[in-house]
Structure 1
Amino acid sequence: MARKVSNTRKTVITALAWTIGLLIFFPILWIIILGFKSEGDAIKTPFEVLFSSWTFESYHEVQERSDYFRHFMNSVIISLGSTLIALVIAIPAAWSMAFVPGRRTKDLLMWMLSTKMMPAVGVLVPMYLLFRDFGLLDSRAGLVGVLTLINLPIVVWMLYTYFKEIPGEILEAARMDGAGLKSEILYVLTPMAIPGIASTLLLNVILSWNEAFWTLQLTTSKAAPLTQFIASYSSPEGLFYAKLSAASTMAIAPILILGWFSQKQLVRGLTFGAVK
């Protein structure tokens, strides 16, 4: 029998959840507010900022100075491209680890995850030299490849977790009906794991979209995504808070909208198999 929760406890938990949520979201909200202020107002005290006049001046200047849509398209191509390639590689890999486990499966998974623990700057020089020698500097293809490799361990780990929740008997029944390996993965396993695959896709898109280190080091102008677009407003002459905030808002707006409309699917996928 489920334990009854009192109204007072519900109110306290709800208030606490809203407080934590607002604290986490406040930096983003403040950036959005500063984007609608002039440079002179943006450096005032928080109280003065809130009651100063609102303007689109910073957005106009940002669009005139930089080609936002070119950076936006670079981010879309790099994020979606690296995510789709990672899924194509990770789905068969996670299937083999989940349903044809070996004695070293857990060790292999841990080794893959350990590659995420190494500081990226530790491999910057060899990566830069490889990109230079193969002509991949400032190219979308190069960034798609490096972001695929960077996020692949997380994608494999997540898909492996989702696949382990699927009963193996279903796949055995499909094999008895004559399904080959390709049909088993495409027509049996993948449809059953769509919530998990969708949440993995969304999370990987967010990670790729926000990746700053490699995009700043390996691009200059041609393939520069929105992270490079934001960094261009930090100059030796100083920080232009209003313009920087406007550029940041324009960069994070697409991913915020995507997250807002896909939050149910994301939560459903992240909790896939948690309740039986």
Structure 2
Amino acid sequence: MSASAPTTGARRTGAPAARARSPRTANTLLGLLAWACAIAFFLPIAWMALTSFHSETDAATNPPSLGAPLTLDGYREFFGVGGGASPWPPLANSVTASVVSTLLVLLLALPAAYALSIRPVRKWTDVLFFFLSTKMLPVVAGLLPIYLFAEQTGLLDNVWLLVILYASMNLPIAVWMMQSFLREVPVALIEAAKVDGARLPTIMARVVAPVAAPGIAATALICFIFSWNELLFARVLTGVVAETAPVFLTGFITSQGLFLAKVCAASLVISLPVLAAGFAAQDKLVQGLSLGAVK
């Protein structure tokens, strides 16, 4: 009887240890999977950056040469050094269209989200569904009437037309995102501000906006990225004056062939504003996108 007691105790102590090792192993495997996915997504970007420093001859080799000499010719050609089109007007148009449309979206989406979350209107779910239904129409389906409207009103090749279009495209997404963020704002803060005599604009600016700042930052960043990357409207509705950076990038694909090193250099430069904005607001982006996930 006494000899069997240690065996039973060993079994009892071994079971919790095995259960403890099981979550640890699962976390290790999930970590390795996450690293593998991150490397898989990063490799094309790293390859594009490396190719941008090669000459056109080395970039076109198959299989590609990793040890080819590095050069800045692709960047010189992109920035128009020694002749060629300058990228600064398209980049300025993209900055104008993206920044102004994002500010306009925030200006319109914040009061709408406030009405749908903190002070809900009647049948507010139907209102949200209406906002979402506007995204169900394919963009190309509305291209012809928008083109005819722009032609009749003289707005073709005008950057302010892109501002209006980008704002209208991103507004439903912004309202949907921000109403979920604003639902996390404590109503007691708003009631206290009303007791102190604060009016609605003051409440929005000094109470709601600071509390929901991570959500607002996440919404602004996503709207900025969508506006910066948009190509279809900019390609059809602009020409020379209002040409944006993505449209300028397509100009490197000519009948003479694909200049791979130059395209990679241009793609990397055009991607830098989005990458910089995401890096600068990464803490707000993660905090905003996870807002309300843990109750």
Gaps of 5+ in 1: none
Identity level (%): 39
What do residues 62-88 of structure 1 show as CA deviations (whole Å, max 9, x unaligned)?
A: 222221222221111111100000110
- The answer to whether the 8 Å contact 1:215/1:225 transfers is yes
- The answer to whether the 8 Å contact 2:217/2:281 transfers is no
The answer as to 2:86 corresponding to 1:86 is no
Could you tell me which residue of structure 2 aligns to residue 53 of structure 1?
Answer: 69
- The answer to whether the 8 Å contact 1:66/1:229 transfers is no
Distance 1:126 1:195, change over 3 A: same
* Range with bigger deviation, 7-16 or 70-79: 7-16
What do residues 225-257 of structure 1 show as CA deviations (whole Å, max 9, x unaligned)?
A: 111111111123322211111111111122112
The answer as to 2:219 corresponding to 1:188 is no
The 5 Å alignment of 1:156-171 reads 156-171=175-190
- The answer to whether the 8 Å contact 1:138/1:218 transfers is yes
The 5 Å alignment of 1:209-228 reads 209-228=228-247
Q: Distance in 2 between matches of 1:39 and 1:244?
A: 10
TM-score between the two structures when normalised by the length of structure 2: 0.87
Could you tell me which residue of structure 2 aligns to residue 11 of structure 1?
Answer: 28
Q: Distance in 2 between matches of 1:120 and 1:72?
A: 23
> How big is the shift at 1:261?
2.7
Count of residue pairs the alignment pairs up: 273
> How big is the shift at 1:164?
0.9
* Range with bigger deviation, 232-241 or 84-93: 232-241
- The answer to whether the 8 Å contact 1:147/1:208 transfers is yes
Task: Give the superposed CA RMSD.
Answer: 1.8
Choose which of 101, 121, 141 in structure 2 pairs with 1:122: 141
Could you tell me which residue of structure 1 aligns to residue 78 of structure 2?
Answer: 62
The answer as to 2:55 corresponding to 1:38 is yes
> How big is the shift at 1:4?
6.3
What do residues 23-59 of structure 1 show as CA deviations (whole Å, max 9, x unaligned)?
A: 122222222222111111112234x321212111111
The one-letter code sitting in structure 2 at the alignment partner of 1:52 is: A
- The answer to whether the 8 Å contact 1:87/1:155 transfers is yes
Question: Of the two, which has the highest radius of gyration?
Answer: 2
Choose which of 46, 58, 61 in structure 2 pairs with 1:29: 46
- The answer to whether the 8 Å contact 1:139/1:222 transfers is yes
Q: Distance in 1 between matches of 2:173 and 2:271?
A: 22
The one-letter code sitting in structure 2 at the alignment partner of 1:74 is: N
- The answer to whether the 8 Å contact 2:115/2:121 transfers is no
Choose which of 109, 114, 130 in structure 2 pairs with 1:111: 130
Q: Provide the secondary structure at the position in 2 that maps to 1:170.
A: helix
Q: Provide the secondary structure at the position in 1 that maps to 2:241.
A: coil
The one-letter code sitting in structure 2 at the alignment partner of 1:199 is: A
The list of structure 1 runs, each at least 4 consecutive aligned residues, that deviate by more than 4 angstroms after superposition, is 3-7
Q: Distance in 2 between matches of 1:100 and 1:264?
A: 29
Q: Provide the secondary structure at the position in 2 that maps to 1:83.
A: helix
Q: Distance in 1 between matches of 2:119 and 2:180?
A: 14
* Range with bigger deviation, 203-212 or 36-45: 36-45
Distance 1:25 1:118, change over 3 A: farther
